Amino acid sequence: MSIPIIEVKKLKKYFPVRANILFMQKEYIRAVENVSFKIYPQETVGLVGESGCGKTTIGRMIVHLEQPTRGDIYYTGENTRRFRGKQLKAYRKKIQYIFQDPYSSLNPRKIVYNIISMGLRNFHIIKDNRKRKEKVSEILEQVGLPPDYLFNYPHEFSGGQRQRISIARTIAVKPDLIICDEPVSALDVSIQAQVINLLKELKNELYLSILFISHDLALVKHISDRILVMYRGYIVESAPSASLFENTSHPYTKALISAIPEPGLDAHKGRIILKGDVTAVTGEIKGCCFEDRCYMSRDICKREPPLGRQLIPGHVSYCHFAEKV
Ligand SMILES: Nc1ncnc2c1ncn2[C@@H]1O[C@H](COP(=O)(O)OP(=O)(O)OP(=O)(O)O)[C@@H](O)[C@H]1O
Ligand code: SF4
Ligand SMILES: [Mg+2]
């Protein structure tokens, strides 16, 4: 197998929240806990879990917008912690980020040409002005926008079109990996599928890898080769996309799947309703991170953290009773 584009090993991120002056103790939010995974060339990996589980923090650590508390990130086998100067700049070019909100992520004072060509200029990819303009027109067409939009401003476009411009800006610099952080959740459902299909096409045309972050498992299923399910900073299940649905091995994943509405079915029929809410993310977790909401919980779950077990090749679950899910 080829070398992964990105490998994260035992990544942790604790955010300090407040100090307990009485006991001279600091308190932390455990945003990411011991997360490890690999993304191979031309692979789309979905990262799914409810709001606040740590998805964005992982993405931000990969692009060095956030410093890990512990753990390492490897780019094609090299530890990115040591990257400085030119090497860091080259890394930043190869790993691109698309944000959720296409309204605030594009500079409103710049025309489309300047937005897309910025990377080409900054990274000295094309120095000649005429050639750069040709290239930008070509990229616009690639993302399904007419080249005569070059001199328009972001406010003149719809949400879907703006997200196409964000995608154009990232592919212009020929990345290896695009981290798409909830790229369609601000868009109408009818537009979402178009943007997802565009990402799929570009992935094949440009040999890209994608880390697709979303709280919506139904969306993630459409685009991902492999899916990582996160809960309160932990990966609780990781599997090839089809296997996650066919051989679900974690109660949390099961609850997420049962929440996907099926046309023609009673909205609550067969649904697993989660107890409680995702709140307690500070302090020690002794046993399983999902214990207080799990409908299968037993005594051992309170005491011992479940270790990852591979039940079928490539399919790992962090549940003591994975076989019974
Ligand atoms: N800079 C920060 N300072 C303090 N806490 C933070 C910071 N950034 C994130 N957090 C906390 O870390 C946890 C994980 O946040 P993160 O944004 O990674 O979650 P997420 O899965 O992306 O959520 P969403 O689906 O809402 O985008 C949350 O509890 C969040 O409040
Ligand atoms: S280890 Fe226990 S609490 Fe955790 S998911 Fe499995 S059954 Fe539920
Ligand atoms: Mg997020």
Which atom of ligand 1 is closest in space to residue 13's alpha carbon? Answer: 12
Smallest-distance ligand from the CA of 228: 1
Element holding 112 (H helix, E strand)? helix 112-122
For the chain, what is the mean pLDDT?
90
Residue located nearest, by CA, to atom 31 of ligand 1: 52
Residue 102 — pLDDT band, cuts 50, 70, 90? confident
| Neighbouring residues of 64: CB distance < 8 A, sequence distance ≥ 6 | 80, 83, 88, 91, 92
Beta carbons within 8 Å of 285's beta carbon, 6+ residues apart: 30, 232, 305
pLDDT in tens, 6-29: 999 999 999 887 666 666 667 788
Q: How far apart are CA 238 and CA 62, in angstroms?
A: 19
Of residues 119, 120, 92, 95, the one with CA closest to residue 176:
95
* Type of residue at 218: A
Going from N- to C-terminal start, the domains of the chain cover: 246-325
Q: Which amino acid is it at 261?
A: P
Per DSSP, the chain holds a count of helices (H) and strands (E) of 10, 12
Q: What is the pLDDT of residues 106-146, one digit of tens each?
A: 999 999 999 999 888 877 777 788 888 999 999 999 999 99
Per residue in 171-188, pLDDT (tens digit) is: 999 999 999 999 999 899
Total Cβ atoms within 10 A of residue 44: 23
Distance CA 299, CA 304 (A): 9
Q: What are phi and psi of 151, to 5 degrees?
A: -105, 15
C-alpha–C-alpha distance, residues 63 and 78, integer Å: 14
Q: Cα(33)–Cα(235) distance, rounded to whole angstroms?
A: 8
Categorize the per-residue pLDDT at 274 as very low, low, confident or very high, splitting at 50, 70 and 90: low
Atom of ligand 2 nearest to the CA of 301: 2
Ligand 2 atom closest to Cα of residue 322? 6
Q: Which ligand is nearest to the CA of 69?
A: 1
pLDDT at 233 over 90: yes
For ligand 2, the distance from its centroid to the CA atom of residue 227, given in whole angstroms, is 19
What is residue 314's predicted lDDT score, i.e. its pLDDT? 95
Distance 72 CA to ligand 3 centre (A): 21
* Cα 100 to middle of ligand 3, angstroms: 8
Residue 299 Cα to ligand 2 midpoint, Å, equals 10
Name the closest-CA residue to atom 26, ligand 1: 51
CA 249 – ligand 3 centroid, Å: 25
pLDDT for 279 beyond 50: no
Per-residue pLDDT at 120: 84
Pocket of ligand 2 (CB under 6 A): 250-251, 288, 290-291, 294, 296-297, 301, 306, 319-321
Identify the band that residue 88 occupies on the pLDDT scale cut at 50, 70 and 90.
very high
User: Rounded distance, CA 168 to CA 161, Å?
Assistant: 10
User: From the CA of 54, which ligand is nearest?
Assistant: 1
Amino acid 65: pLDDT: 95
The answer to whether 13 and 281 have CB atoms below 8 angstroms apart is no
Digit-coded pLDDT (tens) for 19-72: 666 666 677 888 999 999 999 999 999 999 999 999 999 999 999 999 999 999
Q: Are 58 and 11 in contact (CB under 8 A)?
A: yes
11, 32 Cβ separation under 8 angstroms: yes
Ligand 1 closest atom vs CA 50: 25
Q: Is the pLDDT of residue 261 over 80?
A: no
Least confident of 52-61, 94-103, 195-204: 94-103
pLDDT interval class at 262 (50, 70, 90): low
| Beta carbons within 8 Å of 22's beta carbon, 6+ residues apart | none
**Residue 124's pLDDT is what?**
72
Q: Which residue from 154, 145, 149 is spatially nearest to 109, judged by alpha carbons? A: 154
Joined tokens for residue 120: 């080409």
Query: How many A from CA of 256 to the centre of ligand 1?
Result: 20
* Percent of the chain whose predicted confidence (pLDDT) is above 70: 90
Give the 3-state secondary structure of residue 88: helix
Atom number, ligand 1, closest to the C-alpha of residue 233: 14
Task: Determine if ligand 1 sits within 6 Å of the CB of residue 57.
Answer: yes
Query: What's at 236, amino acid-wise?
Result: V
Q: Which residue has the tokens 């990115």?
A: 80
The H-or-E segment that residue 206 falls in is helix 189-206
Question: Residues whose CB is under 5 A from ligand 3 (ion)?
Answer: 56
Contact 309, 295 (CB under 8 A): no
Is the distance from the beta carbon of residue 13 to the nearest atom of ligand 1 less than 6 Å?
no
- Give the phi and the psi of residue 142 in degrees, each rounded to 5: -60, -35
Cα distances from 49 to residues 32, 36, 193, 255, 278, in angstroms, run: 12, 16, 20, 11, 11
Please check the confidence at residue 268 and state whether its pLDDT lies above 90.
no
Is the predicted pLDDT of residue 280 greater than 50, yes or no?
Answer: no
* CB neighbourhood size of 15 (10 A): 15
- In the reported structure, the alpha carbon of residue 57 is separated from the centroid of ligand 1 by a whole-number distance in angstroms of 6
Please give the distance, rounded to the nearest whole angstrom, from the Cα atom of residue 301 to the centre of ligand 2: 6
